Amino acid sequence: DEANQLAHYVGLERGICREWRPPATPSVQPARGQSTASEKLLERVHTILHTSIAQAVKCVAHLERTWSETEMVRRLTRYSYKAATTMELRTLAWDQVCKQIVQLTMGSYGSACSDAAWFFQIDMAPAFVQAAWELLIGSGWQRLDYRQVQEAVTREYEEHLDHVLLDKAMLESLRACFPDTIHSKIYQALIKAYWPILDDIMANSGAMEDLQRVELFVRRWMCDSMGP
């Protein structure tokens, strides 16, 4: 049940259980009317997401002015579960599963909720971690370390939050400085140049000091975004 599942994941996060091996999947075909192993896995994932998201929503529900707490849980669970059902698990490495469940969820969830007062306050990482772990062990992965999955998912989630925060800050600054007719075009030029330049500098700047990296980034960003 939900209480036992929550206790299980709390134990994993505290390091009580660092490794888990899933039981062998039966080779026989299910009888008509029975759920397949894949369907049962997704049912478990849905329950895990709903339970974890309900815990997260309790901390921020007072900030929502339109949806009830129940509606918040329902919507956030739907965004996350939809991502889990579209993943081709058996063709992905474990770290790609961790990335994909965050990326696919944040696409719809971020678009729908990024303007909410609670968006940067709610902690969705535990829900993503637990769902990714269940998907991995339920798909046959063995000898996985829960802490590795936790770190990979949390890192991806925090990077997406940083992206959303940057987008919001950039758009708000442009709206304050330029008329509506042109600020969106300027934004597209700035954001198009931002990430490729940042990734290149972080990967190839060697022993350069942090301040030098910042100066190099700003120069290149200005030139590329304002170029022909």
pTM of the model: 0.76
3-state secondary structure of 19: strand
Q: Strand runs (DSSP E) across 113-178, as ranges? A: 144-145
Tell me, yes or no, whether 28 lies in a domain: no
Number of structural domains in the chain: 2
Top-confidence residue, 50 or 25: 50
**Does residue 185 sit in the same domain as residue 160?**
no
Top-confidence residue, 110 or 28: 110
Amino acid 25: pLDDT? 39
Hey, what's the torsion of the CAs at 123, 124, 128, 134, to 10 degrees?
Answer: 80
Give the count of beta carbons closer than 10 Å to the beta carbon of residue 67: 16
**Does residue 109 sit in the same domain as residue 211?**
no
Residue 45 clears pLDDT 90, i.e. is over it: yes
**Does residue 189 sit in the same domain as residue 141?**
no
- Report the distance separating Cα 152 and Cα 150, nearest Å: 6
Tell me, yes or no, whether 91 lies in a domain: yes
**Does residue 186 sit in the same domain as residue 154?**
no
Residue 70 clears pLDDT 80, i.e. is over it: yes
Mean pLDDT, all residues of the chain: 84
Amino acid 206: pLDDT? 82
**Does residue 120 sit in the same domain as residue 198?**
no
What tokens does 192 get? 């198009």
Instruction: Provide mean pLDDT across the span 74-102.
Output: 88
- Report the distance separating Cα 10 and Cα 12, nearest Å: 5
pLDDT band at 90 (very low <50, low <70, confident <90, very high): low
Residue 24 clears pLDDT 80, i.e. is over it: no
Q: Which domain holds residue 60?
A: 37-170
**Does residue 166 sit in the same domain as residue 204?**
no
Top-confidence residue, 75 or 33: 75
* Angle, in degrees to the nearest 10, between helices 180-204 and 210-226: 140
Q: What percent of the chain has pLDDT over 70?
A: 83
pLDDT tens-digit readout, 187-221: 889 989 998 999 999 888 888 899 999 999 999 99
Please classify residue 135 by burial: count the beta carbons closer than 10 Å to its beta carbon, then call 0-12 exposed, 13-18 middle and 19+ buried. Answer: buried
**Does residue 109 sit in the same domain as residue 164?**
yes
189: amino acid identity, one letter: A
